[in-house]
Every structure is written in structure tokens, then in C-alpha cells.
Amino acid sequence: MFIMTFKSPLLLISCLFILILLLQSASAILSSFKHLKSFTTTTGKQFTFNGQLIDHYNPLDGRTFGQRYWAADEFYSPGPNSPIFFYICGETTCSGTPSNTSYPYQMAQKLGALLIALEHRFYGYSQPFGPQSMKTENLRYLTVEQALGDLSYFMSWFKGNYAFKIYDSQPWITIGGSYTGCLSAWLRNKYPHLTVGAWASSPGINSILDFSDFDYQVYLSVSKSGPQCPQTIQNLTQYFESQLYDNPANVSQAFKARFGEDALKLSNEELLCFIADSFVVQVQFHQRIQLCDFLTNFTDFDQLVNATIQHFLEINEIRDYGASYFVSNDTFDPEMDDRIQRQWIYQTCSQLGWFITPSNKSEYTMRSSRITLDYYKEFCRNAFGADLWPDTERFNNDFGGVDLRTTNLILTSGCEDPWQWAAKNTTTGSMTHIYVNCDDCAHCIDLYNDNSTNPEGQKQAHAQIYGLLLDYLGQSKPESIIY
């Protein structure tokens, strides 16, 4: 989903798909506020639902806005039992239904499903107040409750869509990854009558204020490459911090300028957060081996520092970390590919939390000790001009947290994914948790396509997901499916 997680390229798996995924993801990856951007999407015909309600909870407010959606029907044969896969787009501009290099697409092909996707309110072109009005007072309509209202209201409207010959009896399954994995699970919990099941990939369904376990998992993941990798990250973090705090102001500013002109508009803590998240984004998105190979390939420390700075500027968006100068800008241009994630940061500051702080044990710490909850609180205040702060206990009481109870729900976690510490990692009844155990298997690994080069753990997860989807749809399973 599911941190100031912002923008950066993913470079992964074996083939062109991963390279494409990396480049597209380069626009929205991690940072202690930002979660995961929507899974790569490139298919489907685009439409607009012009009747979406701005406020689902005020019967006297009849205002509406246009919300974009997509439909891919190449495998679909209309009928009362034909499945509908509802892919939930998240905290970035949506570009369509999942592509043919994704496992949801492969499942739609196998099961003859209609595949649809809905753009999240306030992202992309689905703007309740227009892209030039991201004022804090308008963002109060950017909540999980309103997003779930959008999904349910859209589904009710879509059932009357004669263009696709939709029947009331057709089984719906929602699919999402990271934050939208949470939405998929929460929708199943809040509106169980709307779907026969849900697939939630790497969902951090437990809202956490002080998310230090995330940092601990980064240490555990990079340690799989040997002790030199975490030690190098710690050495670099200490070096960057000393350059910012242990020198005269002019020397510190000169060092900060090595990160570019925009870095000069960041506080020291904001720059340290950018640095920490630039390590994280690679671990989270299946690049742990590549990251550690890069970090441990230098014998000269100055060369390592120079190469690391350059690499970070290529894979992360430094302006996402400037609260006062950049994130406080209340205008938005969808054509700029969400380069400043004001909307997502608002969601974390107002409801979701997930503020990544250093591990409680110093030997496991991957980020600067100066990245504290006080830092995040000030960041939220500077970005929105208000004392926004999430009540995570209340949120979890409302949505279930790790005590979520529903039926026919797939929950997945990658073994190297830091988000697993905010997930429900146990199977309860027909809520099935799948742990994907393999090298470089991290965030939303199960959404990637199924092919012969996948590690065995990913193949097993795909087989289990396929079997569960067949169960939800009331279809018989091939004998080859074992789980």
C-alpha cells in the first residue's frame, strides 16, 4: 500500500517487465509517508463515472465528480455466473487495468473474468474539486471511509451498465496491493454482500503510529546478503548525519547542495528521511540483492558516497520530503505524474500513520535517530498548516487492524517486505494468509506474473491464490492444484 513512500524506479525480476515496472515506479516509491503506488497497469478501455458522490455520509450533499474507470473484456463472456475482477487503483494516477505481465491479468484470462479498475479520488484525473484545488479544507474528503464509499457506490452503479451486460448475480472479487490491498480487505469486511471474496496483496491493515519494526525488517532483509551490507548502510547514514550536524553551517549547506538545488529547501531531518527511504525503496521492491551488491562493491568510501548520492537522486524524488516548500503547494497537475505526493502524505498525517522510525535496538537501526515522531508531526503541520495527527487506535477499532474478521479473504506477505509487520500474518477461518518465502520476494510479489523463471515460493503462492479464487467462485479445482 501501505510510509512517506514516494517515487523511484524498480529494476527487477528477469526481463523487460521489471525494467518497465522500475521506471514507472520511479515515480512513486517509498518515504516514511508514502505507501506503494498502484501496480503497473496498461490495459482496458477508459470511461468516466460522472455521478460519484463527493460525500457519501451527508444525505443533504448531492455534489458529484467524475471518477475514471477502465474495463478489459477480452476474456469475458457475459452471463449470470461470469466473474468480475475489480482492481482498486491507489495513491497515484491510474493508467488502467492490470497488464498482461501481472498475475491478476492471468487470473482474469484463466477464469474468463471482466477486469475493471477504478481511480482513487483525489489522484490522477479523479478530482472532486479540480486538480488546482488541493487545499487542506478540501482534502478532508480524502479518507478511507470515502474511498470505500466510492467503491461500493460505483459497484452499485456499474451493475446497471448495459454496455457490458452485467447481471446482479455475477460474483465480484476485489484485488489490491499495499494500501489498495487494505482497501480490498476493508471493503470485504465492511460490505461483505458486495463480493464473494477479496485478494489483498501485502496489506498493512494495522495502522501504526511509531512503525519502528519496519526499520528492523530492512535490517533483517539486507542481512540476507551478509553482514557487510547492513553495516555499510549504517556507516553511510552516520556519515551523512555527521556532515549535516557536525560542521559549520556553510559546510553543511555545501554538503546538502550535493543532492541538488531542491535539497537546499529541505531541513536536515527531511534530507535524512530522503536518504533512509532511498535505501528502503530498493529493499521493498525486490532489489535487495542488487542494492547490497552495489553497496559492497566499493573499496574507497568517498567513491561510495558519491555513487550513492547519484543513485538516490535517480531513484527517489527529493521534493516529496520538503514539507514547507514543496508538499505545502496545494495545486496538482496530473500530467506531472504525481511528483509531489501531497494527497498521500495527507492520508498518512490524518488517518493512516505508518511513520517509520529507527529500530528500537541500535544494532539494527538503518535510519538516522533524528527521524522521530516529533519530526513527522512537524512535517505534517508544515505541509498542511494544521495540527493533523492520526488516531491509530481509533482507526484500528473502526477497521479491525490485525483483529479483522471477515470471510473469503486472501492476505499475502513477502518474506523480505517491511510491511509484513503491519499485516495480519495468520490464517483465521476462510481468511487465508500466504507467506511468500524466497530471495528478493518483498512487497506485492504475488501480483507479478506467473512464469517458469519465478522462484518456487512465488509459484506456490500463485497456485494457492488460484485455488482460493476458484473456491470463492464456486468452481472446481484442477487436480494439479495442490496447496
pLDDT of the residue at 338: 53
CA angle 363, 369, 375 (to 5 degrees): 150
Quote the pLDDT of residue 11. Answer: 30
DSSP labels, 132-191: T---TTTGGG-SHHHHHHHHHHHHHHHTT-GGGT--TT--EEEEEETHHHHHHHHHHHH-
240 burial (CB, 10 Å; 0-12 / 13-18 / 19+) is: buried
The number of beta carbons lying within 10 Å of the beta carbon of residue 324 is 16
Please give the model's pTM, rounded to 2 decimal places. Answer: 0.91
**Residue ranges for the chain with pLDDT beneath 50:** 1-41, 482-483
DSSP conformation letters of 296-362:
TT-SSHHHHHHHHHHHHHHHS-GGGG-IIIIIT-----GGGTT-S-HHHHHHIIIIIEEE----SSG
Q: What is the per-residue pLDDT across 40-88, written as a single tens digit (0 to 9) for each?
A: 445 789 999 999 999 999 999 999 999 999 999 999 999 999 999 999 9
The domain spans of the chain are 35-207+397-473, 212-387
**What is residue 15's predicted lDDT score, i.e. its pLDDT?**
34
CATH architecture of 35-207+397-473: 3-Layer(aba) Sandwich (3.40)
